Chains A and B, each alone.
Chain A
Amino acid sequence: MPEQRIDLPQGTLDLLILRTLALGAEHGWAISERIHQVSDKVLQVQQGSLYPALHRLERRGWIKAKWGASDNNRRAKFYELTKTGRKQLETEESEWKKLAAAVAQVLETA
């Protein structure tokens, strides 16, 4: 594949999934597509990590799944944020921002 790819740091995938789902319910393929698009094709989520992550988040109760019809009218499993998921997203987002700012600051000054 021609696109440049960056490996996601541990735990980031969960945050990206939660963030993507904050816009509305989506199925797995659409989530990976959206991350790919929004990141200007830098981030490519492999199915091998996406689905285990979805199932893990579902088990933690941050997202919930229901079956629905996709754009092309196929049966697909849609995930959406739960209330705790939304709270979790807020925490993780702010933590990530703090972390990113801190890392950036170190990189710039050091």
Chain B
Amino acid sequence: MLSDVLIRLRGLVRHDTVENELDDELRFHFEQQVDKFVRTGMSLAEARRRARLEFGGADQVKEECREARGTHLLDLLGQDVRYAFRTLRKSPGFTIVAVLTLALGIGANTAIFSVVQGVLLAPLPYSEPESLVLVWQNNLTLKHTISDSYPDFLDWQRNARSFQRMAAFDWQERDLTSPGTPEHLNGKVISSGFFETLGVGPILGREFSPEEDKPDGAPVVIISNRLWRNRFAGSAGALGKSVTLDGVNYTIVGVLPSRFRLFGDEADLYTSLGQGDPLIYGDRTIHPIICIARLKPGVTIAQSDAEMAAVQDHLDQLYPAADRGLGANVKSLKQEFVGDVSGTLLMLFGAVGIVLLIACANVANLLLARSAARTREFAIRSALGANRSRIVRQLLVESVLLSLVGGGLGLVVAKWALNPILAAVPGSLPRSENIGVNVYVLLFAFSVSIAVGILFGLAPALKSSKADLQTALKEGARGSTRAHHRAQGSLVVVQMALTLVILVGAGLLFRTIRNLWDVNPGFDTQNLITFRVGLSPSTAKSSSGLRSAYQQLIERIRNIPGVNAADLTVLVPLSQGQNIGPFWVGSAAPSSSAQAPRALFYWTGPDYLRTMKIPLLRGRYFTPEDTVKSEPVVVIDSVLARTYFSDRDPIGQAMTIPHWGPVRVIGVVDHVRHWGLGVRDSYTENQIYAPLYQLSDDWAPMFYRRVTVVVRTPLDSATVIPAIKNAVYAAGRDQPVYRVQTMQKIATDSMSSQRFPMILLGAFAGLALLLASVGIYGVISYSVSQRVHEIGIRMALGAERREIFRMVIGQGLRLAVAGLVIGAVAALILTRLLSSFSHLLYGVGASDPLTFIGVALLLIGVAVWACYVPARRATKVDPMIALRYE
């Protein structure tokens, strides 16, 4: 109705005028009434008195008029907010505790939400990312997903119909020597159409043409925005200039937008996959590349998956020697990006939500205690004409105001907590560059604050508004304290239960990490330093040149005082690197390469096994005499020995390694936990060690490029690294030493998928414990203060202090134990989820009794400790004073 809208609008816009008119109207009425009484012969004073009496509460009438006009709601809100500010300012202690509690709760939630938002919710930074997929091959015999072979990829590109475009890439590190200072850089080799598939265009120049994506194409490179700014000052003239990579000149044809990333890492150099080393990219049995593709509109992942299976099946028949036993499947890019992390993050989000609930329970408890003290205030207000909904609204405004202030402070907490969180988890979170306080995070914090304010404010508000007017107004009445006690008690029980759930989660992960540290990795992780060296291009011309350069380098490092042993390896255990290939026992080849067993290949220097202290079980280690000129030999691990030589002594047996030839087993060593201390699902556990110096001339350059030096020294890495650098620079200042790490650090990082949630869950558990102990402390000490009279009577009747102490502690313990029982049941259900999430637990059951008991004892201890102070206070009650107090 128009009049309705107009009147409301007028009330809003011309608020003061409307109020004045209301005043005038009522005053007119009053004066008319006075006149009337005077006319009947009353004195003016008497007439006024009568009129005022008849008129009743002018404020109440006005209030009802405002309500009738419908303009009062916003008005009231303003009033309520002002009033709430005043009352909160009047009790600063309560306000500070409540706001800080909420700030911690909302802050922790906001921080985790910003992680969830950045990692899981935000779309990938490519155009129409939901239609991007990865196409993997899988080894049907070993039932494991693997990366793709380049010839197969080229066949897919020709045959598959589900995709608008298919592209491929592989990682390739490069040494850039010109222009500017030499630098070791991350790079990728990519097929033409790679950036078009992603929907990301270069900001300058173009991507590779199909002609450049061929072995005889011109050497061209696309560079990162960072490199462009650093080496070419961000000038458009960079196009057409050349950079020298590993001794070859490449012409720059494109520059990428800043912050372009794929799989988290920023590559600086993109060269053509078609021009890549034919040894690995020309061989159908080698699987180095990853295929990324864009689905045609309307094609689902399931449809493309079915088509790819058929396409690969066709290749299996065309190239049985290489491909029989291979399948292909399609996965969403987002899913592959985020992977296992989503489960962990959602678990953490749940945990931090529980922390917020505990915080809410605390504030609700504070409000209950406060509202008990304010019973008379509400009684007076309702006596003055405030109806129940008005009081509830007032209290809700107070609690929402509290939570909004808490939420604002929580944003500061979140922003401040985010960096340590991210620093605690290097590399274990994909897309972590995406995480920050953005508009979604702000919106989240805001809505959570409002919701939380209503959540913890509603129950106390409803409760206090129900207070009985009569009793409440009577001097000294105890009103509804009993109901308050029950409500507060149940809040504490809930807090205890929730805290137990989080503590159990953190405890299980803590035990997991302890167990992982106890896992024998198969070598000695102490006193080991690893680093990589870029040999200067002048020495790296030929395979034999490389060999002698590395031999001399190792010799110089060994001569450093304090270095016990040192050598080279292509693979470092626990470091996520992999070099998997087929092998078979004897000389008879299996019908298909895909069906041959797989092993990890460690191409190492002769002293590597000794340096790592990998125990020799049978036979011998390598010696410097194992060279290209002597018989090819390998050392195998105990797993391979047990699986393939169960019935005979492996020493002296013959094996075949494709691309290399027949080899003889000369030793068996202990198994090494290559994939990480807690990882159980790996492609292969077989391990083969082969002498780096027996690599043939064609393969040597590729593997030498990837070697890592391992050094065993009791010295601190800070003291030994300068000496090592000197030893390296002695052979040329242009040989960078990079990726220096201790093996301890590598071992720790290998547990990051468990460590990251453990650290956060541990922090949440600590927070929960703190909040819950504050909660139980508050309730017990409030109840002691309410029971001073009763305690006084008890003592007057002869109760001993010890009994009083026990009574108070017992009250707290009853709440704690009730919480523990409920929490234990909830935890038993929830930890089952924990264990089903991405293998988070290791060596400990989801319902591990030791963890449950330990955590329960901890919680009881904290509860007793929190009750100790009020219990002591109760024993100090002086019966005389307590009884006189009433």
The answer to whether the Cβ of B24 comes within 8 Å of any Cβ in the partner chain is yes
On whether the beta carbons of B28 and A51 are closer than 8 Å, the reply is: no
Closest-by-CB residue of A relative to B60 is: A48
On whether the beta carbons of A52 and B68 are closer than 8 Å, the reply is: yes
Minimum C-beta distance from B547 to chain A (A): 96
Per-residue CB contact flags for chain A residues 1-37 toward chain B (1 = under 8 Å, else 0) read: 0000000000000000000000000011100010000
The answer to whether the Cβ of A87 comes within 8 Å of any Cβ in the partner chain is no
On whether the beta carbons of A75 and B24 are closer than 8 Å, the reply is: yes
Closest-by-CB residue of A relative to B25 is: A77
The answer to whether the Cβ of A92 comes within 8 Å of any Cβ in the partner chain is no
Minimum C-beta distance from B61 to chain A (A): 5
On whether the beta carbons of B69 and A55 are closer than 8 Å, the reply is: yes
On whether the beta carbons of B26 and A59 are closer than 8 Å, the reply is: no
Residues of A within 8 A of B67 (CB): 52
B68 is contacted by which of A59, A61, A75 (Cβ under 8 Å)? A59
Question: In the complex, A80 Cα to B171 Cα: how many Å?
Answer: 86
The answer to whether the Cβ of B3 comes within 8 Å of any Cβ in the partner chain is yes
The answer to whether the Cβ of B32 comes within 8 Å of any Cβ in the partner chain is yes
On whether the beta carbons of A52 and B61 are closer than 8 Å, the reply is: yes
* Secondary structure of the A contact surface, majority rule: helix
Residues of B within 8 A of A46 (CB): 54, 56
The answer to whether the Cβ of B151 comes within 8 Å of any Cβ in the partner chain is no
Minimum C-beta distance from A20 to chain B (A): 15
B29 is contacted by which of A47, A60, A64 (Cβ under 8 Å)? A47
Per-residue CB contact flags for chain A residues 71-109 toward chain B (1 = under 8 Å, else 0) read: 010111100000000000000000000000000000000
Residues of B within 8 A of A29 (CB): 28-29, 32-33
Residues of A within 8 A of B2 (CB): 61
Per-residue CB contact flags for chain B residues 17-53 toward chain A (1 = under 8 Å, else 0) read: 0000100111011011101100000000000000000
B4 is contacted by which of A48, A60, A77 (Cβ under 8 Å)? A60
The A/B interface has a contact count, at CB < 8 Å, of: 73
On whether the beta carbons of B35 and A72 are closer than 8 Å, the reply is: yes
On whether the beta carbons of A51 and B3 are closer than 8 Å, the reply is: no
Chain B interface size band reads 20 to 34
A59 is contacted by which of B7, B31, B64 (Cβ under 8 Å)? B7
Minimum C-beta distance from A59 to chain B (A): 5
Question: In the complex, A47 Cα to B26 Cα: how many Å?
Answer: 9
- Known contacts A51-B61, A52-B61: does B4 contact A61 (CB below 8 Å)? yes
Question: In the complex, A55 Cα to B32 Cα: how many Å?
Answer: 20
The answer to whether the Cβ of B582 comes within 8 Å of any Cβ in the partner chain is no
A58 is contacted by which of B7, B29, B54 (Cβ under 8 Å)? B7
B28 is contacted by which of A48, A53, A59, A70 (Cβ under 8 Å)? A70
On whether the beta carbons of B3 and A61 are closer than 8 Å, the reply is: yes
Minimum C-beta distance from A94 to chain B (A): 23
Minimum C-beta distance from A102 to chain B (A): 30
The answer to whether the Cβ of B588 comes within 8 Å of any Cβ in the partner chain is no
Residues of B within 8 A of A77 (CB): 21, 24-25, 28
Residues of A within 8 A of B60 (CB): 48
The answer to whether the Cβ of B703 comes within 8 Å of any Cβ in the partner chain is no
Minimum C-beta distance from A22 to chain B (A): 19
17 of the cross-chain contacts (CB-CB < 8 Å) are A28-B25, A28-B29, A46-B54, A47-B26, A47-B54, A47-B55, A47-B61, A48-B60, A51-B25, A51-B29, A51-B65, A59-B7, A61-B4, A70-B28, A70-B32, A75-B24, A76-B25
* Interfacial residues, chain A to chain B (CB-CB below 8 A): 27-29, 33, 46-48, 51-53, 55-56, 58-61, 64, 67, 70, 72, 74-77
Q: Give me 5 other A-B pairs in contact (C-beta within 8 A), A48-B64, A61-B2, A70-B28 excluded.
A: A29-B33, A46-B54, A47-B61, A61-B3, A61-B4
* Interfacial residues, chain B to chain A (CB-CB below 8 A): 1-4, 7-8, 21, 24-26, 28-29, 31-33, 35-36, 54-57, 60-61, 64-65, 67-70
